[in-house]
Amino acid sequence: MEPLAQLKDIHLPEQINNYPLSLGWWLLVIMLVSVIIFIIIRVKRSKQLRRCQQQAIKQLKGQTAENHITSSVLKWAAIQYFPRDHIASLYGLKFQDFLISSLPDKYQKNFLNMSTAIFETLYQENSTTTSSQQLNDDFQQAALLWLKHALPPKNEKVQPRSEIVKSGGAT
């Protein structure tokens, strides 16, 4: 017999399977999915936390500068993020002190300068006739400054009151 006849034909090797993936790849996939889910949850919470702030800013920008309306919007926004029993009883200079104390330090002096004249006369009987349009505009700018930089509070975990009510927490 011929030695070449005893040789077998050339065969392709079996197809190499990609599955099952090794443990390292599964861990990587699980970590990536976890990070994506975590980011989505954080973005969603941030939007919910800022919803009341955005509503107050929209309301202030959509109305003329009137002191009592601006003050009402500020108080409403503060009640959404801070304890109601603490905020509801504040008015006048005490309310202004609260607003200033909840602002970051670099904005406090600016807010104080723009709002002092209004807070001193806000609850007086003839305050609407004696206050000028410039003071009203300054107060509205001070309110916008407070809404943009004090809300939501950064130093403590705060959930808007409307979200607490929805989730079944304290009212």
Stretch 17-42: mean pLDDT, rounded? 90
Q: How confident is the model at residue 93 (pLDDT cuts 50, 70, 90)?
A: confident
A 10 A CB-CB count for 70 gives 24
Are 161 and 81 within 8 A, CB to CB? Answer: yes
Distance CA 39, CA 86 (A): 34
Answer for the pair 56, 77: CB distance below 8 angstroms, yes or no: yes
* pLDDT at residue 119 greater than cutoff 90: no
pTM: 0.66
User: What is the structure's pLDDT at 124?
Assistant: 67
pLDDT digits (tens, 9 = 90+) for 122-132: 766 555 444 57
Q: Minimal CA–CA distance to 161: which of 58, 60, 55?
A: 55
